[in-house]
Amino acid sequence: MGEANAALAETLGVTMGKGFVQSMESSERSGGPAQLVFSRSNKLLGDHAITRGRNERERIDTVTSFTGQSLSVPAGGVAILTLGPGAWEMPTRTDALSLNAARGNAPPTAEALAASHAVKVGGRAQGVAFELGKGRVVVFGEAAMMSAQISGPTGEGRMGMNVPGNQDKQFALNVLHWLTRLI
């Protein structure tokens, strides 16, 4: 998915991964390894004006993403959403689905990851922020967290701002506040 934006990101000093990220350590909820949780408690949520907000009401403690891809952190940039040491990126959606189906709820083995062509991406990011010239830039490797998606016949499938317990809506507002210098 990142291939469409890779050239633009590269001009900003950000290298985009080319696959689908999953991680066991950031899967604090029942969403499994494809639902990544970045929180203060798991230390994957970076300290930045975006996550601090303008006051206690705007403070972010939990952001949830839904696979996406990894990003490098450019010089002078801050990783807002850091991928933990157990994060990996599979090159295709088929690889990701096959790995998930084969292992059920168990963490993948080293052999299964190798067979899926997964690449370890711990320490990379899914969200970075930085100043560039007179402007500000925020790059995300995942878009669903900035949406409010509902799927399924009774609306049981939810992604983005519709997932209970995250602060993705306030996070999106804080990003806009930072970009427009309200924060």
99-110 confidence digits (pLDDT tens): 555 555 555 666
Residues of the chain with pLDDT under 70: 1-2, 24-34, 92-116
Note the pLDDT of residue 127.
97
Cα(58)–Cα(61) distance, rounded to whole angstroms?
Answer: 10
Q: What sign does the dihedral 165-142-53-51 (CA atoms) show?
A: positive
CA–CA–CA angle 25, 26, 32 (5° rounding): 95
pTM: 0.84
- Domain extents for the chain? 2-179
CB atoms within 10 A of CB 104: 7
